[in-house]
Amino acid sequence: MTGELSARQRKILKLIVQDYVRTGRAVGSKALIDRYKLDVSPATVRNDMGVLEEQTYLQHPHTSAGRVPTDSGYRYYVEHLLGNPRVPVSEQIRIRHQFSQVEMQVAASMKLAAAVLAEASGNIALISPPRSLRETVRHFELISLRDRLMLLILVTQSGTVHEAFLHLDEPVEQDTLSTTSRQLNDEIRDLPFPDIQRRSAQYSGLAALVLEQIAALMRRTEQESTAEMHSEGLERALRQPEFSHGDVAQQLLELLRGGALLSVLLPQVRQKDDLRIFIGSENVTDDLQSYGVIIARYGATNEVTGLLGILGPTRMPYDRSISTVRYVSQVLSDLLRHVHTDGPEH
């Protein structure tokens, strides 16, 4: 049962969290007084640490005389003691400059975002590509390559570009392809693949072939996007004592493989400016209950979004991690808004 903490108890909890995050070692009362010049006796500090332990914010690791934060202690720190951490202005300028180097390249920006997050946190950065929650057609073109071969170029609402070669039963002129694409673009713009699949049944010949191929490309995109995730910084995380054991390293590799982790995290963030923090036992799956997770969406709109975040031990630098996730989400969202504004015209 938790109650209100005194100002001194709050200060002691904050110092213990920060010290433990920095050193990874249990914190004792004498170390607190010596390191931070607390103007109280060791007995007073021990008494306050005892209260914090009773309130479930601290615990004894094994037989150590010191204390370490619990999941509840980290949560109290994040919600009540951390304030509103921000990336320093000099660091903001550096990050913005790095992103300006990749300009409008979404794939390169994702890799850069992951590298920035991993460096700032010393943990594993996660990022998924931007996808429409309901992927629809933005625009497509048909280009004649040879008499019986054409190229279909499809741009979806998320800005993803697909290309497919289509073999024709008979030669078709470019003028015919251009006329067909103009007519069908007007009809299927902003439609998802099930609607396009149904429309294809109403046509025959070239129009039916094009609509069936577009529906197939979009269906494949939705299937692939549920599993696509880029990670960075595993080698940094494995240097930390919590991850130094072989079985933990193997578990991390399993978590990062495939789309299982993404499918768990994505539904927990409601919109692109909603940063969420899950600490240890707060995570919804058993596989994540030894970790801290900070995640946020980024995107051009509430319909076209990706996921980015940090996975690490519960003993992570929450100030740097939270502020960097929030800032990089903002930078990527700005980039995507430019991409959508400057993208192909309807």
For the structural domain made of 89-129+228-341, what CATH number should be given?
3.30.450.40
Domain 7-81 and domain 89-129+228-341, same fold? Reply is: no
Q: Does the pLDDT at position 322 exceed 90? A: yes
What's the fold here for domain 137-225?
Answer: Enolase-like; domain 1 (3.30.390)
pLDDT at 342: 56
What band does 225 get if pLDDT is binned at 50, 70 and 90? Answer: low
Residue 337 vs residue 176, higher pLDDT: 176
**Lowest mean pLDDT, pick from 22-31, 96-105, 163-172, 198-207:** 96-105
Q: Are 217 and 103 in contact (CB under 8 A)?
A: no
Per-residue pLDDT, 108: 87
Full-model pTM: 0.73
- What are the tens digits of pLDDT across the range 167-184? 999 999 999 999 999 999
* Matching CATH number, 7-81, of 1.10.1510.10, 1.10.420.10, 3.40.50.300, 1.10.10.10: 1.10.10.10
What was the pLDDT predicted at 345?
A: 43
CB 311 within 8 A of CB 123: yes
Q: Are 336 and 127 in contact (CB under 8 A)?
A: no
Q: Which long-range contacts (CB under 8 A, 24 or more apart) does 178-183 make?
A: 178/142, 180/142, 180/206, 180/207, 180/210, 181/140, 181/141, 181/142, 181/210, 183/207
SS3 41: coil
pLDDT of residue 54: 95
Residue 258 has pLDDT above 80, yes or no: no
- Given this model, what pLDDT does residue 135 score? 76
185-215 pLDDT, tens digit per residue, is: 999 998 988 899 999 999 999 999 999 999 9
Q: Does the pLDDT value for residue 297 go beyond 50?
A: yes
Q: What are the distances in angstroms from CA 276 to CA 95, 124, 292, 294? A: 22, 16, 11, 6
pLDDT digit string (tens) for 32-57?
998 988 889 989 999 999 999 999 99
CB 102 within 8 A of CB 109: yes
Reported as a pLDDT band with limits 50, 70 and 90, residue 344 is very low
Q: What does the mean pLDDT of the chain come to?
A: 87
User: Would you list the domain boundaries of the chain?
Assistant: 7-81, 89-129+228-341, 137-225
pLDDT of 106 reads: 76
Please determine, for residue 346, whether its predicted confidence score (pLDDT) is greater than 50. Answer: no
Least confident of 10-19, 95-104, 142-151: 95-104
The whole-number average pLDDT for the span 160-173 is 91
pLDDT value at position 243?
Answer: 82
pLDDT, mean of residues 94-115: 87
Answer whether 59's CB lies under 8 Å from 100's CB: no
Using one digit for the tens of pLDDT, what is the confidence trace for 233-253?
Answer: 988 888 888 887 767 778 788
Q: For position 104, what pLDDT does the model report?
A: 66
In whole angstroms, what is the distance from residue 207 CA to residue 188 CA?
12
Q: What is the pLDDT of residues 270-295, one digit of tens each?
A: 666 678 999 999 988 888 888 999 99
Average pLDDT value for residue range 87-112? 88
Q: Report the 10 Å Cβ neighbour count for 315.
A: 19
Rg (CA), the chain: 26
